[in-house]
């Protein structure tokens, strides 16, 4: 089991979040909870924790301050941000501090709970296997480079909103023109800004999210590949096979077999 510490100053939000998530289904168990960063650090002295999920805006000690302390004192602990708004600067800083993922309020409101924990489980596995997917780190390094570029804060916020929307809807059909329209940008300008700020093209980013989700489902479930294809945003199974093999070097069935054969050894995870 992956031991989780949940930190949020809003008691109802914290209890609600702990109560609704299907933790055990994805190998998680809540080992503790705290209302601010200082209390969280006290708990860490006596509690075995593998994953810290923290709000950012808290009294006494903010989430960012807590993350800095954890990164310094407990570098083996993975960190995930629980945020109720797409604040570009805060999310960027959290990712720069090593957060492997972030959870947004809208994801919880839309009850995408399985998708959230499945995604986080995959991120943690990649971190432990030495092959952390670089999409979020890329956003942080770039969401940093762009701050000195010609892009305005408004444009950068639009791209962060677009990233959030993609992360919430990558299991459904996603078209670049539609996402661009959602953030009130033209198709061509959105495409250029997205590449410059995120570090990947729109299609590369969507593909990475979908394939990482598919890999997690292949490892953790016995569901047929056709079902996994649909759940990963690829209703066309043949196209899913093509994209999956181009991305991983394996067909889905081959990936599942090898992942299970190598389970516990770590060598297969490092290859990918």
pTM for the full model?
0.54
For 154-212, how does the pLDDT look when each residue is reduced to its tens digit (9 = 90+)? Answer: 788 788 888 888 888 888 889 999 999 988 888 888 998 888 888 889 999 999 999 98
Tens-digit pLDDT profile for residues 11-59: 988 998 899 898 988 889 999 999 999 999 999 999 999 999 999 888 8
Q: What's the start-to-end Cα distance of the chain, in Å? A: 23
Query: What would the two tokens of residue 187 be?
Result: 């198709």
Distance CA 88, CA 91 (A): 5
């Amino acid at each position: 089991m992956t031991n989780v510490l949940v930190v949020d100053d809003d008691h109802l939000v914290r209890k609600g979040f702990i109560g609704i998530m299907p933790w055990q289904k994805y190998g998680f168990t809540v080992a503790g909870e705290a209302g601010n960063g200082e209390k969280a650090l006290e708990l860490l002295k006596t509690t075995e924790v593998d994953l810290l999920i923290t709000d950012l805006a808290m009294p006494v000690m903010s989430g960012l301050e807590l993350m800095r302390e954890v990164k310094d004192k407990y570098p083996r602990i993975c960190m995930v941000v629980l945020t109720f708004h797409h604040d570009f600067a805060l999310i960027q800083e959290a990712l720069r501090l090593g957060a492997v993922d972030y959870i947004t309020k809208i994801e919880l409101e839309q009850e995408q709970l399985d998708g959230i924990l499945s995604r986080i489980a995959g991120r943690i596995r990649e971190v432990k296997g030495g092959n952390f997917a670089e999409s979020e780190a890329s956003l942080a390094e770039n969401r940093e480079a762009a701050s000195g570029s010609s892009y305005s804060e408004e444009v950068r916020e639009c791209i962060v909103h677009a990233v959030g929307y993609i992360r919430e809807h990558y299991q459904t059909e996603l078209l670049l023109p539609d996402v661009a329209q959602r953030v009130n940008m033209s198709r061509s300008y959105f495409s250029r800004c997205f590449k410059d700020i995120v570090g990947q093209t729109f299609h590369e980013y969507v593909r990475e999210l979908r394939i990482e989700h598919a890999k997690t489902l292949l490892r953790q479930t016995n569901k047929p590949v056709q079902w996994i294809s649909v759940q990963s945003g690829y209703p066309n199974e043949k196209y899913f096979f093509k994209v999956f093999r181009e991305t991983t070097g394996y067909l889905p069935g081959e990936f599942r077999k090898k992942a299970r054969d190598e389970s516990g050894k770590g060598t297969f995870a490092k290859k990918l």
